[in-house]
Structure 1
């Protein structure tokens, strides 16, 4: 069985978001060597930055830092090597999220933290006052600080300019600017989303939100210009509405990209809806249209998918035996198989990296398998394990138990 794991990355590196020590793009999988000494349990890819959470609760960040999104003063505009967030060294971080230019995290005690851009109150602080011309003077939060302090949080999720949390009681709360700027006045105090009870999982795109209840019902609200709410139309919703076309299915996971959404069934089938441009829904090269209601991704049928991650314009699906399929926009190498061709046809990503050093010296035979994937704006991260046994992977660690 597996004895070693590595964080791997590919795609755009212009802001250092790959964490490989330079700002180059990578069309093939490469190893984030700075994280090799640590046991990483989860990774998150944002629009222009990344983070990793270790088994012992350490949090590492890297990439774009002009708004304090790395959790320490932005002395440099970008950082291409992961560094630990020192303000959180005394807490055990278990889950985190990256929004447009802010980050959220939650520790094992249910305490939530926020940092980064805050001009719409998305970090839970009132923005600075307006100047004499009425222009809002932004206040970035460069050091992580507590947010939603009255809530015991189980999961955090971040949108373009808003934040959403799921409490241990199964309630959903939100703050910030939930719509494109100018449509709704920003709020910095958490407000409970009405109509949702016993929620098990949340997912947030740029300006839309998904919530999966324990009974399997999927709800959506927010921006809907490409049908990403799955309601059969393009009308935005300020309150949750049931996603159409999923009745009778047992859903086990959900994901939201910039303007598209996915749901995963207990049988390993993927359903996608929302913006279809660049083939990010995986319906094939000849079908890149937006979908107003969920449709099954037939090109992944029979692959036994256990996780789907949605990025800005691409997606990645992970199989039970640890293979990754990517589809969508292909420039900057974000699809991970050596071609910059945009495609709606899911293609497997080869994990062509060297075996762990200690096993290589012993001549042990084995292979890499992926256990978690995370799509960003133009890059992708994953955790890969070296297996010397059978081909099946224990997927109990594929996502955090949120």
Structure 2
């Protein structure tokens, strides 16, 4: 072994997972050494490997290997990565409505820089279902993507193919952003909470069910300043400086954690966690997780696929302790639409919930209702050694327009979906949550206007 090989081998031994982000059906991790890996559903290029293939195990995104990536964020079916060193933001995946910020609606199968954000210091990226936002170093906010309900905060309902500055925050530095399906929330540096976009379920926290086209301040809670905010699909979670947790919005599945299934139009404290200081939050499609100062994870809401990590498939309307091994102190947690991922202080990575596209990273397509360690990434497993690094497909570097990729006969799409459901329904394991047909999960009360492909797989 020559010196170069020895240095590389030593780096692999020391490599750790620093951060994870979960999308609708895919997951991305940032490793020490500025490497990024992804796994799960790849149909829209959201894995960044130059093709549309699913990956059941973490795979290095080779296109980002020399990009000095410092942060990652998943949208539903797209992904972003940011380099603090080069002042560059990259995006890839499903491009409908301009959510990639490149000036078009084409899908992209390998990461490309967002030119409109080049040379800007970016403090945070927030990605929702079909829109994205960015906070600059001085607290200004840019938004782009879908805007049918005003979720971009620009004062209109026109989609934006390129990042645009939200003028409503001029002179008001923003600390943190969160994006849901069609709504957005923000916490400012002075502790104020804002909401805008689609408000049908009270998910803006403004006391009504109206949409807002520009950021509107949420009524202040006596004695509380907000420090964190997260969005689920159509609900919102926020944490105050005292570590108190508040939720509001849609609660059909108990995702507000208030002990009932009622929508709340204003922030209400989650009583079950009143004595816990919450240090991190994340919202899934219809479930929520919170991380306490002691490193314990609590979850509640929709649990059809075991995404709450409590050992069954029953919904919960109040926080439950996730069944992560007691000797593990969790440092970070992220909700996908139907799965959840967490990192412990010992650099072990656990995942649970829906696994039909391999988004749990265990090499299979099983659903799991109990957290399972991802061996390839965990320090107590293979410690990020020997993770696959695929060669990029030549075709993957091209932009592909929606009309080119989705000129599909509808009957063929239905047949394809039916086949995948039949396949996953016959997979059984001790900790697997039984699959239910897609039609059984349809929710007539929630409009779904994305017709690109079936969304409830």
TM-score (norm 2): 0.72
Q: Secondary structure at the residue paired with 2:116?
A: helix
Seen in structure 2, the aligned counterparts of structure 1 residues 39 and 328 have a Cα distance that, compared at 3 Å, is: same
Inter-partner Cα distance in structure 1 for 2:74 and 2:48: 11
| Pick aligned residue for 1:272 from 285, 296, 299 | 299
RMSD over equivalenced CA pairs, Å: 1.9
The answer on whether the counterparts of 1:19 and 1:81 sit within 8 Å (CA) in structure 2 is yes
Q: Cα offset for 1:345?
A: 1.6
The answer on whether the counterparts of 1:120 and 1:186 sit within 8 Å (CA) in structure 2 is yes
More helix by share: 2
1:6 aligns with 2:31: no
- Counting only pairs closer than 5 Å after superposition, residues 195-210 of structure 1 correspond to structure 2 as 195-196=220-221, 197-210=224-237
| Match of residue 219 from structure 2 | 194
Number of matched residues? 343
1:59 aligns with 2:89: yes
Q: Cα offset for 1:118?
A: 0.7
| Match of residue 232 from structure 1 | 259
| Pick aligned residue for 1:104 from 133, 140, 152 | 133
- Counting only pairs closer than 5 Å after superposition, residues 2-401 of structure 1 correspond to structure 2 as 4-56=33-85, 57-74=87-104, 76=106, 78-127=107-156, 139-147=158-166, 148-150=168-170, 151-179=172-200, 184-196=209-221, 197-284=224-311, 287-351=312-376, 367-368=383-384
Inter-partner Cα distance in structure 2 for 1:342 and 1:367: 24
Q: Cα offset for 1:351?
A: 2.6
Inter-partner Cα distance in structure 2 for 1:155 and 1:267: 23
Q: Cα offset for 1:75?
A: 5.5
More strand by share: 1
Cα deviation, 1:277-336, whole Å, max 9, x if unaligned, reads 10000011xx21111111111344321111110010000011112111110011011111
Q: Secondary structure at the residue paired with 1:294?
A: strand
The answer on whether the counterparts of 2:377 and 2:383 sit within 8 Å (CA) in structure 1 is no
Q: Cα offset for 1:180?
A: 6.2
Cα deviation, 1:3-49, whole Å, max 9, x if unaligned, reads 72310100000000001111110001100111111221111111110
Q: Cα offset for 1:352?
A: 6.6
Q: Secondary structure at the residue paired with 1:67?
A: helix
TM-score (norm 1): 0.82
Inter-partner Cα distance in structure 2 for 1:35 and 1:180: 39
Gaps of 5+ in 2: 1-13, 16-31, 203-207, 386-457
